[in-house]
Structure 1
Amino acid sequence: MDYKWLGHNIQVIRKLKGLTQQELSDQIGINLQSLSKIERGINYPTFDTLQKLTEILEVTANELLAGELKSTSHIEAKILKFLEREERLNVELAHGQYDNPLDEDEWIEYELQKLREYITDYIHSDKRNASDLYPLKKLIQGQKLQKLIDRYDDYYSFDLFGETIEGHKQVNPYLPETVKTIIADEEGHISSSLEFPDNSGE
C-alpha cells in the first residue's frame, strides 16, 4: 500500500463531493487540524478514522491507498481548479482584513470592488446567454423587494410608536404632504387636492 497518495486522494474525493474540510472532519469526529495534516500527508489516519473516511467518501481503503486516483476526468480537474479559485477568493474576502495593512473603510471599499469585478465578469462574458442571467435577476429582484419591505417596516414602526424620521436620508413616502390626494367632488368628477395657479388671465 502506498501511503504517499492517501492524503491527496482524500482531498480530491472530498472536493468532488462538495465537502469542506470542516464538514468532513465533523462527520468523521476529528478536528479540522487533524484532517488538514492527513490531507497534506503529514499524519496518517488511525484505522477507525480511515474506516469512517471510506464510509463517508463512499470509496474503499484500497482506492485511497492504491496510488494516485485515476478516476478524475479532465472535466473534474477543471472543476477542482474552479473550486480552489473560488475558495481562495472567499477566504480573501472573508478574512483578508485581518492580514492586510488597510484600515476598515479601505478594506470595505476593496471588498466591494472585488465583488463588483467578479459579478461584472460573469455578466459580460461573451458566452453568457440571457437564460444564464435570469436566476441572477430573480435574486436581485428578491433583494430589492426585501429592502423595500424593510423600509416599510421601519416607517410603520415610527408611526406605531409616534416617533419621527426627521433628518433621515430617506423621505417617508406615507406622509400626506408627499402624496397627491385624489378626491371625488360633488358632481362625480375627479380632481386633485393640490391648488394650481389660475392662468386664464382674468
Structure 2
Amino acid sequence: MEHYEKKISFLGENIQTIRKHRGMKQQELADKIGINMQSLSKIERGVNYPTFDTLEKIMDVLGVTPNELLSGEWKYIDHTEPYIMDIIKREQDFNVSLDYLSENEFFNDEKECRFYMETKLIQYIHNYITNEVTELEELMEIKQLIQRQKIERMMKVHKEMRGLDRYREQPKEYKYHDPYDDWIFRQLADIDSRNNIPDTSPQLDFDETDYEDYLKEKWNRGL
C-alpha cells in the first residue's frame, strides 16, 4: 500500500509536467477532459485524485500511458529513450532488408530487384524531406549532401576518362563501362533538361495561395 501511495503521489505533478511539456495551458486541458480548471488544479497539486473516467481522458489528451503517469517522477530523458531505441531498430531493419533484397526469390532478375530497391529508397527520402517536422536547416544540409554526391559522381566519370586517355585501358573497379558515352555525363550534369536545379525567381513564381495554405497548416499544427 505504501509503495502504491508513493507512486501515485507523483500523479498530479506528472500531469502538470507533461501538460507543460505539450505546450498546453491548464484551462485548455480542463476543457478537453470536461472538468473545470479549479478541479484540474487540485489534481495537479495532489489535493484530489481524478476519477477513473477523468484519468482516462487525461491520458488520451496528453498521449501518455498509465505507466508513464503512475511509475514515479516523469522525466524527459526517460520518456524519449524508448522512442530512440525503437527508431534505431526500425532503421536497422530497413538497412538489413535492403542488403538482403538481392537474395529474395520473389524477383525474376536483378533489374526487378533494383527497381524495387530504388522505389523504396525514393519513398524513404521523400517521406523524410516532406515530414512536417523537417526544418529548413535540415533541408539545407540535405541539399549540401546532394550537391556533394552529384559532384563526386561526375568526378568519377571524369577520372575514368582521364585514365583511359593515359593508359588506354579501363581498370576493373570502374563503375562506368563506357565513360565516353556522352549520355551518362549529360545526365549527371543535367545539361539537357536543366530541371534538377530549380530557378529561384520569387518575383515570377511565388504563389500566394500556396503560402496561405502553408500558414494555415502551420497554424493548425500549433507551430
Query: Higher helix share goes to which structure?
Result: 2
TM-score range with shorter-chain normalisation?
0.3 to 0.5
The two structures have a TM-score, normalised by structure 1, of 0.44
Larger Rg: 1
Q: Which has the higher contact order (CA 8 A, sep 6+)?
A: 1
The two structures have a TM-score, normalised by structure 2, of 0.40
